[in-house]
Amino acid sequence: MRQSFFLAYKYITFHKIRSMVLIFSIGIIVYLPNGLKKLINESEAQMVERAKSTPLIIGAKGSSTDLVINTLYFQQEKTENITMKILEEVNASGFGYAIPVLSMFSARGFPIVGTDPDYFNFRELSLVSGRWMSFVGECVIGSAVAGKLNIGVGDSLVSSPENFFDLAGVYPLKMNVVGVLDPADSPDDHAIFVDIKTNWVIMGLGHGHEDLTNNYDPTVVLQRDSNVVKAGAKLYIYNTINLENMDSFHFHGDMDSYPLSSLIFVPKDHKSATIFRGRFESGEFTQQIIVPADVVNNLLQSIFRIKQIFNTVFILVGFATILILALIVTLSIRLRKDEIYTMFTIGSSRLKVAEIIGFELFILIGCSVIFAGVLYLLTGFFVEDFIRNFII
């Protein structure tokens, strides 16, 4: 046996390229269905876990999937906004409390999520360093943001402008990092949390500028009467909020009409949830209320169907691979006719030749399985990042 293994090993190592191609091909065929299964199972688990921990979401009518993806994973799909007034109405209903979510902008590739302190209690998030945000212009960052951008408490982040050519639109705002969250293995790790008002400042609904009451420069103040002061483009708008200029920040217009992406609604109990949902069904509210777990389950049904198609494809590919492997072995035996004859003439049996070829297959398949195993382990190592970057 040892000698047969030696001869098989020598044959495989001598024909390196041929062996490597076979090992990689078989390895990938073995790996793909298992790796995909792990990927789907892991993404299923992550998505379901997040969805199950969020009782209800309220948002504008439209795609419920986009609404869930926005609210749970901060993917910033284009959906209609709701207004602050809805938040007040929902809270006034007495069936539970609502947490506002406004996620439209980003900073260095990470979403800026405007919310209120209830969100952190609801998600049971804690700080690894610093403090919670208390003022407009402050932010608390997820652990992945801190790790990937190599920033922490005392550093700052500048919001990314939506469009460089829209001069009347969004201005970058420099936000001070006041806290870093503990890792939560959720999309919260990849978010920059700010007060909802900070988000409105980024939107341009609120701003701070130099005091105009005592400024009589005609290039700055265009018109002045007892109620209104009109300023020109020369007016200096602050792009950072600090103790010196904080008082100058103010919001224009009716705050009830200010936008929110959605609301996470936490009902008092199951009964409250049912009655409250009924009010949306009856048309008392014009928005939609959805159970995230239902939406995610529907989404997963689609993924599950894709998995079944993949599985069928892999079975067929695997069958084709076995056939090709059998063909390779047959052709190899034919090509090695001389070698086998030599072995017979000097005293080998057919069984011995079969044993040597068997060991060759054993080594090839063994190495392929090891290769597939390594890929599988790597999948396990990177699966969360992969899911976060490409799936949710």
Partner 1 sequence: MISLKNISFQYPNSDFHLEFGELAFQSGSKTAVIGPSGFGKTTLLNLISGIYTPQKGSVAVNGKTINRMTDSERRTFRLTNIGFIFQDFKLLDYLKVIDNILLSFRINKAQILNKTIRMRAKEIASLLDIEDKLNKYPNKLSQGERQRVAICRALLNDPSIILADEPTGNLDPENKQKIMRILFDYVKDRDSSLITVTHDHELLKDFDRIVNFKELYTNS
Q: Which residues bind partner 1 (CB under 8 A)?
A: 3-4, 6-7, 10-11, 14-15, 338-339, 341-349, 352, 356
Minimum distance of partner 1 from residue 330's CB (angstroms): 19
Give the residue with the Cβ less far from partner 1, 126 or 349: 349
382-388 contact pairs (CB < 8 A, 24+): 383/38, 383/39, 383/42, 384/42, 384/46, 384/185, 386/39, 387/39, 387/42, 387/43, 387/46, 388/187, 388/190
Cα dist from 243 to 34, 136, 330, whole Å: 56, 10, 81
> For the chain, where are the alpha helices, taking DSSP H only?
2-14, 16-52, 64-73, 84-92, 117-122, 143-149, 196-203, 270-281, 292-335, 337-345, 350-386
| Bridge pairing between strands 174-181 and 127-130 | antiparallel
Token pair listed for 330: 């047959």
Angle at 153 between CA 150 and CA 158, to 5 degrees: 70
Cα distance between residue 20 and residue 367, in whole Å? 9
Cα distance between residue 384 and residue 193, in whole Å? 21
Cα distance between residue 368 and residue 25, in whole Å? 8
Cα distance between residue 27 and residue 371, in whole Å? 6
Minimum distance of partner 1 from residue 371's CB (angstroms): 22
Minimum distance of partner 1 from residue 382's CB (angstroms): 38
Give the residue with the Cβ less far from partner 1, 12 or 68: 12
Give the residue with the Cβ less far from partner 1, 121 or 349: 349
Minimum distance of partner 1 from residue 355's CB (angstroms): 9
Give the residue with the Cβ less far from partner 1, 14 or 165: 14
Give the residue with the Cβ less far from partner 1, 356 or 363: 356
Give the residue with the Cβ less far from partner 1, 4 or 103: 4
Minimum distance of partner 1 from residue 9's CB (angstroms): 10
Minimum distance of partner 1 from residue 352's CB (angstroms): 5
Minimum distance of partner 1 from residue 345's CB (angstroms): 5
7-14 contact pairs (CB < 8 A, 24+): 7/356, 7/359, 8/356, 8/357, 8/358, 8/359, 8/360, 8/362, 8/363, 9/359, 9/363, 11/356, 11/360, 12/360, 12/363, 12/364
Minimum distance of partner 1 from residue 335's CB (angstroms): 11
Give the residue with the Cβ less far from partner 1, 253 or 347: 347
Minimum distance of partner 1 from residue 18's CB (angstroms): 11
Cα distance between residue 108 and residue 190, in whole Å? 11
Give the residue with the Cβ less far from partner 1, 228 or 346: 346
Give the residue with the Cβ less far from partner 1, 37 or 352: 352
